[in-house]
């Protein structure tokens, strides 16, 4: 006979497990162990290999290093797990934290953010809705307000911190679509240049548009969107009965750092009543410098701006931002209610925001702290100084490259990227591409710097992107020496 209902529910009979509630002492012991590894890791960063050999092989299938394992039944010692991470897993990757990391778009990852994330995860407060953590929400909203002030957006601007530039671009496309198009939006067209980041085409697809909704406008000799082609495309689409609704300008392309003509694009968008989005994921924070401010003039006229603190503010991966000139439009595009949710805030106070109303996420990490903490600790000055240094280092690198024999600059630095290639008289484009592929592989083989390449209208281009806070003149000189040496070596080999 089973016991009468409720009898087995005596509190004492319910099995209790407190394994996961680690004590303060254990936390201290574990963090101490992790910190010991981290100290060794940080101090050895300048001499650590780059993982460049992997990059040289990019495109080849990478042999799987690990087999899938069954879910662990028993726990393991932390020492062994840390050893696995620091001796094997971490070293077996691109060294994106190294001063020699000049590939793709670096940032480096300031350690303040690690401290902030540790605190944020440990206290595990909920910042998706205002009432759950008003002071912490205000702190994150303050960060967004600083960003809006930096870019010159008006006080109506609101924003949301995202996991990165791709999510910010996606949120921008959804906001533009909701604002500018009817519910049946399939007739809408948005415009990007042929240098725009691929996250925009992906954003359009995720926002429900067919591939044909994305019109790609050719770029000019400076890799900037051609305005005459854009004007013609908009007119052509209108004549064909389609509905142009959005133009995406790049404020620093990933390929070459090219900044589109923002003032002209702003004028065109105003005239044509198109949503003007500026993808400043890479270049946005250069607006803090005098030189960058000039290059990015016109950004303040945007309807929305994507910025990536994990690039231009040197934060670790996982921090992007979207700012929208009229914050109410961002909210309208993402607001959603449910019976189990608390009441949302109705106020114009910029520090009072329900973040779940301003983006696709409800529950999420407390991202604001990783930006707020370093900015409060140091003030903005060292961030500006670092950005100025990176601009100067890139100009310097371009000058040295330009002076090298047979070196062609394919994209002069507009911000902190320079694209270049080695040339040889009489070689076809295909053979020159091959020559430069070999040059890149030889540079990477030293494992001291990490460069990546791109294709510029079919031309294989090497690029240097200086944006890690750890990169200084010494590593740039070493990089330029390596390039000169390997260019001479590859030159002396018989032609392909």
Which residues contribute to the site for ligand PLP (CB under 6 A)? Answer: 105, 164-166, 169, 197, 199, 250, 253-254, 279, 281-282, 308, 320
Q: What's the closest the beta carbon of residue 287 comes to ligand PLP, in angstroms?
A: 15
Pairing of strands 407-411, 417-422: antiparallel
Q: Where are the beta strands (DSSP E) in 386-451?
A: 407-411, 417-422
Q: Which H or E element spans position 453?
A: strand 452-456
Pairing of strands 320-324, 304-307: antiparallel
Distance CA 98, CA 102 (A): 9
Strand, helix or coil at 291? helix
- Asked whether 277 and 247 are in contact (CB, 8 A), the reply is yes
Query: Given the complex with ligand PLP, which of 432 and 471 has the nearer CB atom?
Result: 471
Query: Given the complex with ligand PLP, which of 254 and 329 has the nearer CB atom?
Result: 254
Query: Given the complex with ligand PLP, which of 31 and 455 has the nearer CB atom?
Result: 455
- Asked whether 244 and 189 are in contact (CB, 8 A), the reply is yes
Q: What's the closest the beta carbon of residue 208 comes to ligand PLP, in angstroms?
A: 20
CA angle (362 as vertex; 157, 106 as ends), nearest 5:
65
CA atoms 433, 438, 441, 443: torsion sign: negative
Q: Which H or E element spans position 101?
A: none
Q: What's the closest the beta carbon of residue 251 comes to ligand PLP, in angstroms?
A: 8
Query: Given the complex with ligand PLP, which of 268 and 280 has the nearer CB atom?
Result: 280
CA proximity to 401, closest of 349, 479, 304, 471? 479
Query: Given the complex with ligand PLP, which of 308 and 354 has the nearer CB atom?
Result: 308
Place of tokens 């590939």: 103
Tokens of 364: 């999420």
Please report how many Cα atoms fall inside a 13 Å half-sphere around the Cα of residue 14, on the Cβ side. Answer: 8
Query: Given the complex with ligand PLP, which of 130 and 275 has the nearer CB atom?
Result: 275
Query: Given the complex with ligand PLP, which of 50 and 105 has the nearer CB atom?
Result: 105
Place of tokens 């991966």: 317
Q: Which H or E element spans position 161?
A: strand 158-162
Query: Given the complex with ligand PLP, which of 136 and 418 has the nearer CB atom?
Result: 418
- Asked whether 162 and 168 are in contact (CB, 8 A), the reply is yes
Q: What's the closest the beta carbon of residue 456 comes to ligand PLP, in angstroms?
A: 15
Q: What's the closest the beta carbon of residue 124 comes to ligand PLP, in angstroms?
A: 25
> What is Dmax (Cα atoms) for the chain?
95
Query: Given the complex with ligand PLP, which of 190 and 435 has the nearer CB atom?
Result: 190
Q: What's the closest the beta carbon of residue 473 comes to ligand PLP, in angstroms?
A: 25
Query: 356 CB contacts (<8 Å, ≥6 apart)?
Result: 128, 129, 334, 336, 362
- Asked whether 496 and 428 are in contact (CB, 8 A), the reply is no
Query: Given the complex with ligand PLP, which of 38 and 206 has the nearer CB atom?
Result: 206
Query: Given the complex with ligand PLP, which of 192 and 435 has the nearer CB atom?
Result: 192
Q: What's the closest the beta carbon of residue 306 comes to ligand PLP, in angstroms?
A: 6
Place of tokens 């005596």: 10
In degrees and rounded to multiples of 5, residue 173 shows phi and psi of -65, -40
Q: What's the closest the beta carbon of residue 103 comes to ligand PLP, in angstroms?
A: 11
For 195-231, letters b (16+ CB in 10 Å) and e give: bbbebbbebbebbebeeebbbbbebbeebbbbbebbe
Q: What's the closest the beta carbon of residue 169 comes to ligand PLP, in angstroms?
A: 6
- Asked whether 286 and 312 are in contact (CB, 8 A), the reply is yes
Query: Given the complex with ligand PLP, which of 108 and 165 has the nearer CB atom?
Result: 165
């Amino acid at each position: 006979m089973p016991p009468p209902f409720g009898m087995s529910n005596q509190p004492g009979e319910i099995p209790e497990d407190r394994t996961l509630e680690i004590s303060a002492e254990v936390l201290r012991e574990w963090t101490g162990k992790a910190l010991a590894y981290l100290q060794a890791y940080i101090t050895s960063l300048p001499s650590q290999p780059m993982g460049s050999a992997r990059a040289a092989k990019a495109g080849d299938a990478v042999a799987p290093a690990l087999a899938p394992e069954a879910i662990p039944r028993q726990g393991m010692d932390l020492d062994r797990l840390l050893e696995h991470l620091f001796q094997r897993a971490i070293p077996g990757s691109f060294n994106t934290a190294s001063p020699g990391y000049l590939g793709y778009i670096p940032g480096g990852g300031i350690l303040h953010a690690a401290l902030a994330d540790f605190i944020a995860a440990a206290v595990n407060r909920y910042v998706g809705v205002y009432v759950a953590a008003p002071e912490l929400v205000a702190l994150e909203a303050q960060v967004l307000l600083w960003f809006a002030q930096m870019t010159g957006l008006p006080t109506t601007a609101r924003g949301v911190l995202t996991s990165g530039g791709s999510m910010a671009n996606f949120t921008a496309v959804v906001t533009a679509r909701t604002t500018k198009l009817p519910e049946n939006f399939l007739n809408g067209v948005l415009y990007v240049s042929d240098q725009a980041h691929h996250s925009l085409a992906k954003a359009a697809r995720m926002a429900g548009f067919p591939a044909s909704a994305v019109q790609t406008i050719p770029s000019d000799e400076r890799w900037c969107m051609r305005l005459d082609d854009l004007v013609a495309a908009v007119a052509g689409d209108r004549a064909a009965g389609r509905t142009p609704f959005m133009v995406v300008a790049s404020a620093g392309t990933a390929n070459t750092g090219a900044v589109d003509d923002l003032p002209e694009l702003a004028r065109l968008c105003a005239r044509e009543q198109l949503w003007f989005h500026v993808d400043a994921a890479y270049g946005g924070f250069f607006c803090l410098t005098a030189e960058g401010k000039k290059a990015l003039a016109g950004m303040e006229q945007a309807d929305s701006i994507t910025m990536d603190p994990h690039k231009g503010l040197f934060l670790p991966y996982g921090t992007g931002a979207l700012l929208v000139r009229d914050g109410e439009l961002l909210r309208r595009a993402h607001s959603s209610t449910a019976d189990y949710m608390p009441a949302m805030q109705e106020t114009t106070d910029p520090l009072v925001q329900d973040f779940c109303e301003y983006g696709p996420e409800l529950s999420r990490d407390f991202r604001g702290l990783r930006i707020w903490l370093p900015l409060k600790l140091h003030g903005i000055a060292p961030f500006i100084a670092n950005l100025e240094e990176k601009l100067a280092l890139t100009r310097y690198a371009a000058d040295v490259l330009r002076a090298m024999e047979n070196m062609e600059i394919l994209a002069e630095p507009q911000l902190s990227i320079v694209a270049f290639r080695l040339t040889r008289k009489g070689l076809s484009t295909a053979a020159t591409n091959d020559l430069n592929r070999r040059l890149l592989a030889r540079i990477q083989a030293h494992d001291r710097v990490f460069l990546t390449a791109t294709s510029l209208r079919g031309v294989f281009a090497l690029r240097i992107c200086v944006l890690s806070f750890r990169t200084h003149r010494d590593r740039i000189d070493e990089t330029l020496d390596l390039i000169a040496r390997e260019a001479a070596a590859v030159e002396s080999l018989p032609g392909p």
